[in-house]
Amino acid sequence: MEQILSFISTHREMIYFIILAVFVGVEVIGHVPSVLHTPLMSGANAIHGVVVVGAIIVMLDTDASNYVSLTLGTVAVILGTLNVVGGFVVTDRMLDMFKKK
Amino acid sequence: MTQYILEIAYLIASITFIIGLKMMSNPKKARQGNLIAAAGMTIAIIGTIFLYSKEGLTSRDNIKMILIFAGIATGTIIGWLTAKKVQMTKMPELVSMFNGMGGACAALIGLMEFHHSVGQTSTMITVLAGMIIGSVSFSGSIIAYLKLNGAMAKPIRLPKYNIINTIVMFALFAFAAYVVVSGTDSSTMLYLLFAAALFYGILFVIPIGGADMPVVISLLNSFTGLAAAFGGFLYDNKVMLTGGILVGSAGTLLTIVMCKAMNRSLFSVIFGSFGGTTAAADGAEVAGSIKDISTTDVAVLMNYSKRVVIVPGYGLAVAQAQHIIHELELLLEERGVEVKYAIHPVAGRMPGHMNVLLAESNVDYGKMVEMDEINSEFEQTDVVLVVGANDVVNPAAKTDPSSPIYGMPILDVEKAKHIIVNKRSMSAGYAGIENLLFYDPKTSMFFGDAKKALTALVAELKTM
């Protein structure tokens, strides 16, 4: 119990942050017309590619002689980048079709 | 110093994500919004590569930097080319594939951070949560991809499926809890847990049928967001947190919207599939008979109408008929016929699937009308043309309480003066039930592949 309380106390800013971010997320996309559901999903898809930042951090923090970590890290960077770049490019392509008129 | 600059870079990136997503709710600004978010992402990535540091641990050896840049270059090239080349009809597949990649990235981070976190309970929970959710999202997305791709078309249901699924889910939780509590640093345990999470992801998506895909894709999308957020918590990294949580909550909201559109709870999409109830529906009385109609008759009927509403469904995507349908629309408008498209929220295989297809063929988005709005207009509609849609126009959803789709909001096409249904054959829709609409005296069946049938129709109309 005390452990939980101290966990909450040490991370309280983080917890505030998370709760507010949840509301922002709901609020921001709450009024998206269904016409744009696919681009929205694919744009959101690209944004969660931000996980690639984590992959880069792991790479930077790892020991340069730890080849297992370096390999896994590189694969993670490739996959994360694929998610980011692919997501944004395809969303752009879709939205380009909506732009006229 | 560098640390502060990085914090500011993350702050800017977080703001661009929020603004970018916000702008995506407006068709005119959406493209710009996407670019803004992409710019923010670039700032966050470059900032991390050059400015990130954690005392004592971070070093920028050549080999690491080379690998990071090589990884980014490879991902960029593959991602760019795939995104540019893919056909618009393959969009649901592509989104789930990219989603799976993000999930896999989160899972790999978990695998690598495991050994650094042994002995610290809260850190370990964060690491494992990110790894498990990422893995489920990865294997689930791959199964979703295969299903959408047609490689795994039929939902596979093991007997007692729900029980097995629930047991595996709890076993996964229990296993993860054991790893945390025991404080083990065994790699074997870690990889077993990883394998179990992948297995659960497969089990999770495998029984879910094609028409429920909009729900699944958007749910998996929010899973990956959640996995990214756990990464943010782990590294106390605000940009990962913002990005992850925004997508997580936005994805959850979209999932709920999709469920509402089918009048089903998320629970019933995941656990109860249509399979169990179809048997009861087979006995439903079907009165009346089917009548079919020739291309010429369809052409005449449409040519002399005032208002035509087109109802597109997944069949339109399969037949790649989005361009020819736009040609039909233009031709009819030239002759003074008012044409609109009625878009059911779950038509197709992903949220907004039909809108994207029609936008690809240059249909004005003002003509794509949402269900609630168009339903009141069907009574004044002369001809409704249903192309490759089935369950979303089945009046059984309103009239037959024994029907598996009873209660699902549908497009009230049966109120129109004439209904023309284009279909390849008489086979039932996804839900495996008869469509009462086809037996309606006002309905005529216009059999044939959507693209061929519509091409013939356009040719016929041009001669009039």
- What ipTM describes this predicted complex? 0.92
Q: Which two tokens stand for residue B308?
A: 């035509």
Q: Do A29 and B35 touch (CB under 8 A)?
A: no
H-type helices in B207-350, by residue range?
213-235, 238-261, 266-270, 275-282, 295-303, 314-319, 322-334
Residue B190: predicted pLDDT: 93
Cα–Cα distance measured from residue B111 to residue B189, given in angstroms and rounded to the nearest whole number = 11
Domain coordinates of chain B in residue numbers? 90-273, 288-462
Determine the pLDDT at residue B382: 93
Tokens of A28: 């921001």
Q: Do B254 and A29 touch (CB under 8 A)?
A: yes
CB-nearest to A74 from B71, B78, B231 is B71
Quote the pLDDT of residue A98: 78
In tens digits, what is the pLDDT along chain B, a chain of 464 residues? 788 999 999 999 999 999 999 998 888 889 999 999 999 999 999 999 999 988 777 888 889 999 999 999 999 999 999 999 988 888 888 999 999 999 999 999 999 999 888 888 888 999 999 999 999 999 999 999 998 887 776 666 667 777 888 888 899 999 999 999 888 888 899 999 999 999 999 988 888 876 778 888 889 999 999 999 999 999 989 999 999 999 999 888 888 888 888 777 777 777 755 443 333 344 445 666 788 899 999 999 999 999 999 999 988 888 889 999 999 999 999 999 999 999 988 888 888 889 888 988 889 888 999 888 899 999 999 999 999 888 889 888 888 887 777 888 899 998 999 999 998 877 665 556 678 888 888 899 998 889 999 999 999 998 88
**Are the beta carbons of B295 and B457 closer than 8 angstroms?**
yes
Let me know: does B459 contact B324? Beta carbons within 8 Å. no
Nearest CB partner across the interface for A25, out of B28, B224, B245? B245
Tens digits of pLDDT across chain A (101 residues): 777 788 788 888 888 888 998 988 888 877 788 788 888 889 999 999 999 999 999 999 988 888 989 999 999 999 999 999 999 999 999 888 876 55
Q: What share of chain B is helix, strand, coil (3-state, %, to 5)?
A: 65, 5, 25
Inter-chain contacts counted by CB atoms under 8 A, chains A and B: 368
Distances (CA, A) of B391 to B273, B353, B388, B401, B434: 15, 16, 10, 15, 9
pLDDT at position B156: 67
What is d(CA B209, CA B216) in angstroms, rounded to the nearest whole number?
Answer: 10
- The confidence score (pLDDT) of residue B201 equals 93
CB contact (8 A) between residue B95 and residue A41: yes
Contact A40, B254 (CB under 8 A): yes
CA of A7: how far to CAs of A11, A22, B118, in Å? 6, 20, 17
Strand bridging mode B307-312 / B383-387: parallel
Q: Which CATH number fits domain B288-462: 3.40.50.1220, 3.40.50.970, 1.25.60.10, 3.10.180.10?
A: 3.40.50.1220
Residues of A in contact with B350 (CB under 8 A): 37-38, 41
Instruction: Determine the Cα–Cα distance for residues B358 and B313; give it in Å rounded to an integer.
Output: 11
The predicted pLDDT at position B429 comes to 58
Provide the Cα torsion B176, B178, B183, B189; round to 10°.
-60
Among candidate residues B273, B158, B166, B161, the one with its CA nearest the CA of residue B215:
B273
What is residue B185's three-state secondary structure? coil
Chain B residues with CB under 8 Å of A81 CB are 71-72, 74-76, 79
Report how far residue B7's alpha carbon sits from residue B2's, in angstroms, rounded to the nearest whole number.
9
Residue in A with minimal Cα distance to B348: A38
Contacts of A15 in chain B (CB under 8 A): none
pLDDT in tens, A25-41: 888 877 788 788 888 88
- Minimum-distance CB partner of A43 among B21, B94, B248: B21
pLDDT at B24: 87
For chain A, the domains span 1-31, 34-101
All residues of chain A having their beta carbon less than 8 Å from the beta carbon of residue B18 are 24, 28
Residue B440 tokens, joined: 């309606």
Sheet holding B383-387, edge to edge: B368-370, B338-343, B307-312, B383-387, B418-423, B443-447
Q: Quote the pLDDT of residue A54.
A: 95
CB–CB contact A74 B33 (8 Å): no
CA dihedral angle for residue B221, residue B227, residue B230, residue B234, rounded to 10 degrees: -140
Measure CB to CB from residue B34 to each of A25, A53, A88 and give the nearest one.
Answer: A88
Whole-number pLDDT of residue A17? 87
Radius of gyration, alpha carbons of chain A: 19
User: Do the Cβ atoms of B27 and A98 come closer than 8 Å?
Assistant: yes
